[in-house]
A = this chain, B = another copy of it.
């Protein structure tokens, strides 16, 4: 077995408290003479003693560990495929956690179908939950959380204002996309969405799209919202493209969708951006990798992750973070997937 404080104490001829005091500086009421301290250190060294952080955490009732919750109904997150959405978010979460001295744990219980028992199992000082399409079941479980929790992509109001939240300004982001396309001369613009749940960012972006298109003077109807059901969106995209796109530009729910659209378009001989402009959402490094480079609304994902942890750590400390609902601005990274439409003159 591992060598414990008791072993060190025995060897040094003192009690465990003294060892705690000397080696970890924790038993603050205890005073130790320099010579004893030296003896303890010596013994620890010789035995190769290492503090059992796990035992300490158990006693302290704090684990210095943050759990990542993944929405139910999603598969376990994958880093190596698709757009870099999750990768960027994780980078932010890890950066933030490390900065505060916390570990980050991916736990099968928290990422499986039923995180309920994982949430309050004592291993986590706090949790981060991100989901772009929460379902009622999710929300109920989260409300049962006894540990501090921060929401990403989901406004606090959706969970009775019990947990702070971080998300981006979807409305402003969509406006940037439309404005950009509009200025290039596009008038027939569609929105492509992957899935659709009754609330949240998906809907927020669609609503923003409707709103701004109307304000720009080109109100849209149902046929301008392309909804691709989760599993088989290539199919939906193909159907749309095969009839020859009715629009000159597409705004996509996220970069993965935009990438899919571009790849399918290529198969139909539709060139981007010459025949069709495409705008993504997230603007991770992925956008620079694909061809053509993807014009995309930038959501500060790394920052969102990092700031979510800042909020979480405050909650763990018992504070009430201020602001409680963090909305970060979006930008627009113009790359190569958007251009003046073939049939329209450029407008300034």
Contacts and interface: CB of A to CB of B under 8 A. Distances in A.
A249 interface: no
A103 B146 CA distance: 20
A204 interface: no
Given A106-B103, A285-B81, A122 B87 contact: no
Contacts of A2: 120, 122, 146
A197 interface: no
B106 A52 contact: no
Classify chain A: how many residues form its interface, as a range: 35 or more
Interface in A21-49: 48
- Which of A55, A80, A108 has the most chain B CB atoms inside 10 A of its CB? A80
A57 interface: yes
A139 B50 CA distance: 18
Q: How many copies does the complex hold?
A: 2
A286 interface: yes
A119 B50 CA distance: 9
Interface string A45-68: 000101111110110000101000
Given A58-B58, A105-B103, A284 B80 contact: yes
A124 to B, nearest CB: 9
A80 B302 contact: yes
- Which of A57, A109, A111, A121 has the most chain B CB atoms inside 10 A of its CB? A121
A91 interface: yes
Contacts of A127: none
Interface stretch (A93-101, A182-190, A232-240): A93-101
Contact of A290 (B50, B94, B106, B289): B289
A88 B104 CA distance: 18
B80 A50 contact: no
Contact of A54 (B52, B95, B123, B290): B123
Contacts of A98: 76, 108, 111
A123 B121 CA distance: 15
A174 interface: no
A241 to B, nearest CB: 20
A91 B87 CA distance: 11
Given A98-B108, A105-B65, A291-B291, A53 B144 contact: no
A135 interface: no
Contacts of A301: 80
A104 B105 contact: yes
A94 B76 CA distance: 9
A117 interface: yes
Contacts of A63: 54
Given A54-B58, A79-B84, A103-B123, 6 more contacts: A2-B122, A76-B95, A103-B108, A104-B106, A104-B107, A290-B291
12 contacts: A2-B122, A53-B122, A54-B58, A54-B63, A55-B58, A80-B87, A80-B90, A80-B91, A87-B87, A103-B106, A103-B109, A290-B291
